[in-house]
């Protein structure tokens, strides 16, 4: 963990245990440090699993491993390594993942394909198998721990621990959903340099869990960006142990399905926002809503064009109501837009309408809004019904310091 | 002009006069400053014109004016305003452009459509017609000036004046080509926040000039990026007066056509590189070449993904041989790529091959290369014959300082 905590940090919430989930951490010492960097989670037999993974064309072997294992839909264990992403390491990287899965499967008396693996850290250095195995052996016999220890152990450049909790009512049972996540650079659509893990005691079918997670992902993790860069290791996995004993949900027609999906969406949104709040160098949390686009997809692409514009992000950092840069970002998105219909607001104050500044525009309320830690930008294209909201942070000297000094 | 000159600046070259072109500058005082900010160029009767303009969906009225006027292919005058882009200003902005063209046409005894107009500066404030007209009236009677005065007058946040010169042999005549350009933020593919003006005494047909300019643009101005942002005002215009008296070129089959096109390409490349060298906060000039892609277009998109990656740009700023970030940027481009075939070099040193670090990789020559002002990144996908080179600069604290402090 870095020492300079993000000014947008929020306290780690109280997360209760989830039935069927046991958490452990250990020191594999992937880097020259004395902190826990290996997380080992065991899951009750019959646990369903779903996942969304990076769209990178150069994924890590962990991502490829998870993609194959997800087809079976069942999980018994999760291993997370911090400090080395093992990406772009050829056969040696693949061998490291296989070794981790094999050793864990042996200890758990399960199949290697029941073991999910994720790693984060430097690219291009094969994960050392000896350290991974020693770390695992320590983890197998470690005392179980709580959620915050896991959130801390999966972190790398994160400046605060990130977790979220919610519940849903299924029939006469209340099911719990807990999640932990790490950021915080290479955060872009199609996931992020982000490892997120969600655990619930709900009984749900893997296919339903996958559908619900994908739907939530589209409006949460895929709607955040820090720097427009997409990691080779992005992974969100959701595990459902069934310990709550509800009548299993197999489809959206089943009782409680909508409630569970809504809770999962809420949890994903909480986690996604935490990643943005720990964006490298962030001092402002920015919500960008585009309305009146020709489609939701078009609105999303325009919102992302604004969210990824260095000129918009630096203007917000400078608390500058430079709405011209928003116009620029709308214009460059390549999506249907008519300049003379465009309206723009900061917070609740309309600054431009019908393709030009509003008459008698008073910058004072906008300047006041921009001084806060939470900034809203609204764009209405007045073309159709398409709508999207995305979240990002500002671009500051802190981002440059972190990334121009970080050594590979 | 800003006071802190880019460390990548080059001296303004000696540019000879171009027959049929007369340069003048004046003070319209679009901002509260005492510098020339209005450029007025007169062109001999029969001058051919070609242009490439921003692809922004929210273009300035100047861009729309030029797009219409270009259809006729002839020009008698160019007016350039600095300090106010007049973009996103509705009817009042359009009226300002029409007023400038009308007043200039009256003074020149030509059609308004023979007058080309470009403006750069803040978005959202209508260009004041009274100031433009007073500036024009001063320019009409001003002494003629040289190229560097024009380069200085069209500049805004530029830290040095930018010009280039070359010649071509057409039959028994040597024709001259001169150009001036301004940057230096909002620089991205599909042009840039960039106004570039090229003048030649060659006799060429407007349609041929347009083809040659578009071809040159694809491999020069459309291959540079500073921050991935695209201006609402990007404009490159080329004017050919015919004063050299060569046999007019009407198509690529004509004598001297290839030589002229090559010279135009060379001039555009020089000008494009100068814009990158004045990229906001730039301390490194970075050339990125992608080879072995499935097509040239695919190579271009991958090269731009690398060039626009904040993580790659900050790594170069930090002189960090972090090739993992190059892998990341290749992976996120969404173009065909096979991780295990990928090779990457910095300068002439291969750092990764076949999907992993080269055996016995020695960082020393790479570190030495990165300490220089000119950095080369090479990627070979080993998939096909597609190839592209793009140019960018690093991302530094200077960029943040310039853009978080610049007030709208």
**CATH class of the structural domain A21-277:** alpha beta
Interface contacts (A, B; CB < 8 Å): 241
**In a 3-state reduction of DSSP, which class is residue B166?**
strand
A305 to chain B: which residues are within 8 Å by CB? none
* DSSP label at residue B334: -
Catalytic residue among B104, B161, B166, B193: B193
User: What H or E segment, with its residue span, contains residue A71?
Assistant: none
B331 to chain A: which residues are within 8 Å by CB? 54, 56-59, 230, 232
pLDDT score at A191: 36
Q: Which residue of B has its CA nearest to A192?
A: B332
Could you read off the pLDDT of B12-36 as tens digits, one per residue? Answer: 999 999 999 999 999 999 999 999 9
Residue A203, burial from CB neighbour count under 10 angstroms (0-12, 13-18, 19+): buried
CA distance A343 to chain B (A): 11
Could you read off the pLDDT of A264-289 as tens digits, one per residue? Answer: 999 999 999 999 999 888 999 999 99
User: What H or E segment, with its residue span, contains residue A296?
Assistant: helix A296-307
The answer to whether the Cβ–Cβ distance between A324 and B408 falls below 8 Å is yes
Residue B193 appears among annotated catalytic residues? yes
Distance, CA of A173 to CA of A176 (rounded, Å):
10
The answer to whether the Cβ–Cβ distance between A403 and B315 falls below 8 Å is yes
The answer to whether A408 is a known ligand-binding residue is yes
Q: Taking Cα atoms as reference points, which of B107, B92, B89 lies closest to residue B40? A: B107
The answer to whether the Cβ–Cβ distance between A90 and B403 falls below 8 Å is no
For residue B24, what are its two tokens? 């003048």
- Residue A135: count other Cβ atoms within 10 Å of its Cβ: 25
Q: Which residue of B has its CA nearest to A354?
A: B90
- B407 pLDDT higher than 60: no
| Helices vs strands, H then E, count in chain A | 11, 15
DSSP percent split of chain B into helix, strand, coil, nearest 5: 35, 25, 40
Q: Which residue of A has its CA nearest to B316?
A: A404
Please give, one letter per residue, the 3-state secondary structure of A183-242.
CCCCECCCCECCEEEEEECCCECHHHHHHHHHHHHHHCHHHEECCCCCCCCCEEEEEECC
Distance, CA of B242 to CA of B204 (rounded, Å):
7
Of A58, A89, A186, the CB nearest to B330: A58
Q: What ranges do the domains of chain B cover? A: 21-277, 285-405
Could you read off the pLDDT of B242-280 as tens digits, one per residue? Answer: 999 999 999 999 999 999 999 999 999 999 999 999 988
CA distance A297 to chain B (A): 17
DSSP E strands in A27-73: the ranges are: 38-53
Complex-level ipTM: 0.80
| CATH topology for the A285-405 domain | Ubiquitin-like (UB roll) (3.10.20)
Could you read off the pLDDT of A214-226 as tens digits, one per residue? Answer: 999 999 998 888 7
Give chain B's radius of gyration (CA, Å): 22
Of B327, B332, B404, the CB nearest to A314: B404
Distance, CA of B339 to CA of B376 (rounded, Å):
21
- Supply angle C-alpha A82, A87, A90, rounded to 5: 135
The answer to whether the Cβ–Cβ distance between A317 and B404 falls below 8 Å is yes
The answer to whether the Cβ–Cβ distance between B320 and A188 falls below 8 Å is no
Q: What's chain A's average pLDDT? A: 91
The answer to whether the Cβ–Cβ distance between A87 and B327 falls below 8 Å is yes
Give the mean model confidence (pLDDT) for residues A224-229: 74
Distance, CA of B359 to CA of A191 (rounded, Å):
32
Q: Which of B53, B55, B57 to mutate to test the interface with A (most CBs of A within 10 A)?
A: B57
CA distance B206 to chain A (A): 28
- B228 pLDDT higher than 70: no
Binding residues of B for substrate are 156, 182, 193, 280, 403, 408
The answer to whether the Cβ–Cβ distance between A329 and B357 falls below 8 Å is no
Q: Evaluate whether B42 touches B156 at the Cβ level (below 8 Å).
A: no
């Amino acid at each position: 963990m870095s020492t300079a905590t993000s000014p947008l940090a929020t306290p780690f919430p109280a997360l209760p245990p989830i039935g069927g989930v046991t958490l452990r951490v250990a020191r594999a010492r992937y880097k020259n440090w004395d902190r826990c960097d290996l997380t080992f989670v065991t899951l009750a037999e019959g646990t369903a699993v779903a996942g969304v993974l990076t769209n990178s064309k150069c994924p890590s072997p962990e991502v490829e491993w998870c993609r194959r294992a997800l087809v079976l839909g069942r999980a018994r264990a999760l291993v997370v390594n911090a400090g080395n992403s093992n990406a772009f390491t050829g056969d040696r990287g693949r061998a490291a993942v296989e070794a981790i899965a094999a050793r864990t499967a042996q200890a758990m008396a399960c199949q290697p394909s029941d073991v999910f693996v994720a790693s984060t850290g430097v690219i291009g250095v094969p994960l050392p198998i000896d350290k991974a195995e020693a770390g695992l052996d320590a983890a197998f016999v470690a005392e179980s721990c709580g959620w915050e220890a896991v959130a801390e152990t999966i972190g790398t450049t994160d400046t605060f621990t990130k977790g979220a909790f919610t519940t849903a009512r299924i029939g006469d049972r209340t099911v719990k959903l807990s999640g932990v996540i790490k950021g915080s650079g290479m955060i872009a659509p199609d996931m992020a340099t982000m490892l997120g893990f969600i655990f619930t005691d709900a009984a749900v079918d893997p296919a339903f869990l996958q559908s619900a997670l994908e739907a939530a992902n589209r409006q949460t993790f895929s709607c955040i960006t820090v720097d427009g860069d997409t990691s080779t290791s992005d992974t969100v996995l959701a595990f459902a142990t069934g310990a709550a004993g509800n009548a299993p949900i197999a489809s959206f027609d089943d009782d409680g399905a909508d409630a569970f999906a809504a809770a999962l969406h809420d949890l994903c949104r909480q986690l996604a926002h935490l990643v943005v709040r720990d964006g490298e160098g962030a001092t402002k949390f920015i919500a960008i809503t585009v309305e009146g686009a020709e489609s939701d997809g078009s609105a999303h692409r325009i919102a992302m064009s604004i969210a990824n514009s260095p000129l918009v992000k630096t203007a917000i950092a400078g608390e500058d109501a430079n709405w011209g840069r928003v116009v620029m970002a709308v214009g460059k998105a390549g999506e249907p837009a008519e300049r003379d219909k465009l309206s723009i607001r900061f917070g609740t104050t309309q600054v431009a309408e019908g393709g030009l500044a509003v008459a008698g525009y008073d910058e004072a309320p906008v300047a006041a809004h921009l001084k806060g830690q939470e900034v809203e930008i609204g764009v209405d294209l007045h073309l159709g019904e398409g709508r999207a909201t995305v979240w990002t942070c500002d671009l500051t000297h802190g981002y440059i310091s972190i990334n121009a000094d970080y050594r590979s």
